[in-house]
Amino acid sequence: MTQNALRSRLRALFARAEPPSRAERVAREDIGRSLRTGSRPFSIGSRPVIRWVKGDGLDDPVTRSAIGAATRLFGSEVDYCLCTNGIKAGRVRNILSWATQPVEWWQQDPDDNPPLAVLLNDAACTPDRFGYWWKWFPERVRPNGPEWILDGDMVLTSRPPWYEQWMRGADPCRISQDDSMRYHDMYGGFGLHVDREKAIYSGLVSLPPGQTYMGEIRWALDRHPLAAPHDGTRDMDEQGAVAMAFDRIGAVTFPLDEFPFARAFDEDLDFGRSVTPGNVWGYHFGHAFRGPNHHFDRLVAEGVIHSQPEPRLSERFTWLGNFGQWGIPGWSMPDGCTDFILGVVQSQPGEDVLELGTSRGRMTAMLCTLGKKVTTMDHIDRGASVNLAGLDAEVITTDALQFLHETERFFSIVIVDIHDNSEARWRVLLPGLVRVVRSGGVAIVSNARLYEIPEWVDETGVRWALENLPSELSLELEYAGAPGVAVLRRA
């Protein structure tokens, strides 16, 4: 078929009056929702979310344990987010490698919280010196859901007593407390303006849906402006301003004996005024940012803090999955299909891979880890360009059909995992696939048995393609577990 004939066929498909498939409708609705709200997809909705904030410190192992433990403790009941500043993508991928649930990676930027960025700029504090203030960029990652904000050196080990209320969005604003007051300079220049009896400190903040706090932080900084030049990496004023702000909000505190400090420079855990542990549901490993923390090492050895061997490849990138908040569209490929595809890829010569259907980049990351050079595309960027930074991957935002029928490139391996698997879609997709698979190469097609799943019964396109393969392609292997995978070899 000539190039002009292929283009005519493509135009004819889009001109058809027949309604789109369910998968195509869902994909269109997803794009439309993002365009209407102007928000990143993760911020939409009201599901509870737990977020950690991590800077360029030495506490990577603590944050990795924290996220690995939380995703096992809470599962898909909540969503997860890691906000980072000054950390490259490779480190982030390692920190998230123990997660058993999808995690949103949010690279922090001053524009995430413009009012606070202006206040810091007015105090001659540049972004490279924001330091502790990065905790509040953005103010909320999901404004309409319950949200916890934790330091990267805080590890949850069980549910707090008020967890179910928080999940329902019925809990008040809460904030942690340092009621031992062992370190009296913790509020920086705000010491005289803070209620020391309440002893608020900002380690963990629990927010109900819709709760904001920047108005109160502006109020605190208006009453006691930061002295210029302010250095947020050294000065403790952030702690004092936050204590004033959340006191004004009326936040409920929880005592240190429930979430003790495990400071590297303290011989013992700090349980505050009670001296002994209460109903402990987490630990704050202070000073792990700057060096080893013997409390962390001991609690890992005792099995209190989560640790594990290096996960296998498909587990290492579970954080890039598409269930939970990411759900449909972008349904995550089951591990059985994933492992089957990785096995085929490893046995196939050639490093050049074309992937149709990037989603958040999970398969792409695994292919790059196997030493492949990947060109990957999707009709929308769901964070893949950030998630895959530093890997040998070219991320393209375009329509797969358009690319297949216009590119002059050839690939040893083509992986197809797209939303719309209707027969109409595959009638124009299949000739394009023939064009780009190198002689002796393979096309690995997901969703071969998608129609066996009741809600996707109309997605019979891959079945049609397998029944109408052109002479250049032959079916070589098939994975029968739904949604199924077919491996096509080009002669």
Radius of gyration of the chain (CA): 26
- How many domains does the chain divide into? 2
What is the spatial order of strands in the sheet that 393-397 belongs to? 393-397, 373-378, 352-356, 411-416, 437-446, 485-490, 473-479
For residue 469, being part of any structural domain is answered with yes
What's the CA gap between 258 and 7, in Å, rounded? 65
The answer as to whether 381 is a domain residue is: yes
308 found inside a domain: no
Domain extent, residue 217, equals 41-301
- 258 and 376, same domain (yes or no): no
* CA nearest to 468, candidates 426, 420, 408: 426
Residue 371: what residue type? G
Measured between alpha carbons, how far is 187 from 238 in angstroms, rounded to an integer? 7
Length of the chain: 491
Q: Does a structural domain hold residue 277?
A: yes
Q: For position 197, what pLDDT does the model report?
A: 87
Residues 287 and 348 in one domain: no
- Gap between the Cα atoms of 491 and 481, Å rounded: 26
The three-state (H, E, C) secondary structure of 364-393, written as one string: HHHHHHCCCEEEEEECCCCCHHHHCCCCCE
Share of the chain above pLDDT 90, in %: 75
For residue 90, CA distances in Å to 93, 342, 365, 386, 387 come to 5, 21, 11, 11, 9
Query: For residues 393 and 372, is the Cβ–Cβ distance under 8 A?
Result: no
Instruction: Please check the confidence at residue 200 and state whether its pLDDT lies above 70.
Output: yes
What are 465-478's pLDDT values in tens digits?
999 999 999 999 99
pLDDT of 289 reads 93
Tell me whether residue 363 is in a domain. yes
pLDDT tens column, 15-73:
444 567 776 776 666 666 656 666 678 898 899 999 999 999 999 999 999 999 999 99
Task: For residue 306, tell me if it sits in a domain.
Answer: no
- Domain identity same for 297 and 320: no
**Structural tokens at position 184:** 């009296």
Q: Angle at the Cα of 463 (from 460 to 466), degrees rounded to 5? A: 150
Q: Do 283 and 340 share a domain, yes or no?
A: no
**pLDDT of res. 181:** 63
What is the Cβ-side half-sphere exposure of residue 94, based on CA atoms within 13 angstroms?
A: 10
Q: Is residue 60 part of a domain?
A: yes
* Chain centroid to CA 381: 13
Residues 185 and 322 in one domain: no
| Distance separating alpha carbons of residues 206 and 208, to the nearest angstrom | 7
Q: Are 149 and 174 in contact (CB under 8 A)?
A: no
Q: Are residues 124 and 249 in the same domain?
A: yes
One domain, residues 144 and 277: yes
Determine the residue type at 127.
Answer: P
CB 443 within 8 A of CB 490: yes
334 vs 456: CA distance, rounded Å: 16
Q: What is the mean pLDDT of residues 483-488?
A: 96
Q: Are 86 and 215 members of one domain?
A: yes
Last residue of a domain, one of 250, 269, 301: 301
The reply to whether 351 and 459 lie within a common domain is: yes
- For 188-202, what is the mean pLDDT? 88
Question: 98-147, pLDDT tens digit by residue?
Answer: 999 999 999 999 999 999 999 999 999 999 999 999 999 999 999 999 99
Q: Which residue among 242, 267, 301 closes a domain?
A: 301
- Please say whether the beta carbons of 157 and 137 come within 8 A: no
- Indicate whether 325 pLDDT > 80: no
**pLDDT value of position 401:** 87
| Confidence bin at 9 (pLDDT 50/70/90) | very low
- Owner of token pair 């001296």: 275
Residue 380 within any structural domain of the chain: yes
pLDDT tens sequence across 75-104:
999 999 999 999 999 999 999 999 999 999
The SS3 assignment for 378 reads strand
pLDDT tens per residue, range 207-250:
999 999 999 999 999 999 999 999 999 999 999 999 999 999 99
Please report the pLDDT score of residue 10 as a whole number.
44
- β-strand 154-156 against 282-284: which pairing, if any? antiparallel
CATH number of the domain encompassing residue 145: 3.90.550
The band of 256, judged by pLDDT with boundaries at 50, 70 and 90, is: very high
Q: Report CA 222 to chain centroid distance, whole Å.
A: 35
Same domain, 282 and 176: yes
pLDDT digits (tens, 9 = 90+) for 387-427: 999 999 999 998 888 899 899 999 999 999 988 889 999 99
Q: Are residues 15 and 68 both part of a single domain?
A: no
The pTM of this model reads: 0.91
Contact 410, 442 (CB under 8 A): no
Cα-based distances in Å from 133 to 199, 237, 238, 288 = 19, 9, 6, 18
Q: What is the mean pLDDT of the chain?
A: 90
- What is the structure's pLDDT at 30? 64
Q: Is the same domain home to 8 and 79?
A: no
Of 301, 328, 355, the position where a domain reaches its end is: 301
Check residue 264 and give its pLDDT. Answer: 95
Residues sharing a CB contact under 8 Å with residue 154, sequence separation 6 or more, in sequence order: 52, 66, 203, 204, 259, 282, 283, 284, 285
Q: What is the mean pLDDT of residues 265-272?
A: 93
C-alpha closest to that of 410 among 443, 386, 382: 443
What do you get for the CA distance between the two ends of the chain, in Å? 18
Rounded Cα gap, residues 78 and 60, in angstroms: 22
- The predicted pLDDT at position 484 comes to 94
Q: In this structure, what CATH number is given to the domain that contains residue 399?
A: 3.40.50.150
